[in-house]
Amino acid sequence: MLFRTLADPTRRALFERLCREGEKTVGALTARAGVSQPAVSKHLGVLKQAGLVRDRHEGRQTHYSAQLGALAPLIDWTSQMAGFWQNRFDHLEDLLKRMDQ
């Protein structure tokens, strides 16, 4: 999901800018994105769904900011997978207990 979300160059550029420059409005992001405002909003929606950005409404403006914590699995997939496999090993052991010899 994270990789897929960030595989799109426009989306990645938007996210990178939010990381670098902090919170921004859709308007400010559109000004330098090279695509239309609806397109920017759509990309931000996808980023939000992936947990990579958060939105904050203030008056008629929506401000977006990067959620760096969401990147943890991407930065270090090994710790994610280690937890996953430890958990699977537990299940495997439970199964072995139940299985006939």
Partner 1 sequence: MNETSTETLSVVVERELSYPPEKIWRALTQPHLIEEWLMKNDFKPVVDHRFNLRADWGAVDCQVMAVEPNKTLSYTWAAYGLDSVVTWTLTPTSTGTHLRMEQSGFRPDQQQAYQGAKGGWPQFFAALEQVLARID
Question: Which residues form the interface with partner 1 (CB under 8 A)?
Answer: 1-4, 6-9, 12, 16, 19-20, 68, 71, 75-78, 81-82, 85-86, 88-89, 91-96, 99, 101
Q: Look up residue 81 and give its two tokens.
A: 């997978």
Q: How far is the CB of 10 from partner 1 (least distance, A)?
A: 9
Task: Quote the least distance from Cβ 51 to partner 1, whole Å.
Answer: 13
Shortest Cβ distance from residue 100 to partner 1 (Å)?
A: 9
Task: Rank residues 58 and 100 by Cβ distance to partner 1 and give the closer one.
Answer: 100
Cα dist from 96 to 9, 43, 89, whole Å: 46, 46, 10
Tell me the two tokens of residue 42.
Answer: 């759509």
Given a contact cutoff of 8 angstroms between Cβ atoms, the answer to whether 43 and 55 are in contact is: no
